[in-house]
């Protein structure tokens, strides 16, 4: 299986409301996102993408449009964390993204995977699809999710 991977970074805040330690406090991370795609190589003479699964600049552009620019410098708030949501809503123009699950790195990776899976799905008619997503919360801690194929 031939794959390609593009890495992007973004900054975001969150909290884990019921966590036993410091993660229950408002804090942020420099997240690193690794997007791995699989698909047939484009074979179209004269095409800019000829010989590629997908041009890395297009991988980046779709990721930024659908996820990175949405989450970058936002606070990723759990929908049921009403105290924090009310506080953030009191700040004029604050960038808040509501997540349906507690914003652990595991849940954020699954949410990101679902968003990006739809963005890349068969983009060229070559069977292109999201194979794996890795989300680093810190340099030493991350979650990975792989497509059920």
Q: Is 149 a catalytic residue?
A: no
Catalytic site includes residue 137 = yes
141 counts as catalytic: no
Q: Are 76 and 14 in contact (CB under 8 A)?
A: yes
pTM of the predicted protein model: 0.94
Q: Which of 9, 19, 44, 73 is catalytic?
A: 73
Of 29, 131, 136, 137, catalytic: 137
**What is the rounded distance in angstroms from the CA atom of residue 97 to the CA atom of residue 75?**
6
Work out the burial of residue 128: count CB atoms within 10 Å of its CB; fewer than 13 is exposed, 13-18 middle, 19 or more buried: buried
Mean pLDDT, the chain cut into blocks of 10 residues (149 residues total) = 96 95 95 96 88 95 98 98 97 97 98 97 86 97 93
């Amino acid at each position: 299986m031939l794959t390609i991977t593009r890495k992007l970074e973004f900054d975001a805040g969150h909290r884990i409301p019921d966590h036993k330690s410091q993660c229950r406090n408002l804090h942020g991370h420099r997240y690193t996102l690794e997007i791995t795609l699989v698909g047939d190589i484009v074979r179209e003479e004269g095409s800019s993408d000829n010989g590629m699964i997908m041009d890395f600049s297009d991988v980046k552009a779709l990721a930024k449009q659908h996820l990175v620019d949405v989450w970058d410098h936002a606070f990723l708030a759990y929908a049921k964390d009403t105290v924090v949501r009310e506080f953030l809503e009191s700040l004029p123009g604050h960038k808040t993204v509501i997540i349906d699950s507690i914003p652990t790195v595991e849940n954020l990776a699954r949410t990101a995977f679902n968003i990006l899976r739809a963005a890349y799905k068969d983009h060229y008619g070559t069977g292109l699809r999201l194979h794996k997503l890795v989300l680093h919360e810190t340099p030493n801690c991350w979650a990975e999710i792989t497509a059920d194929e």
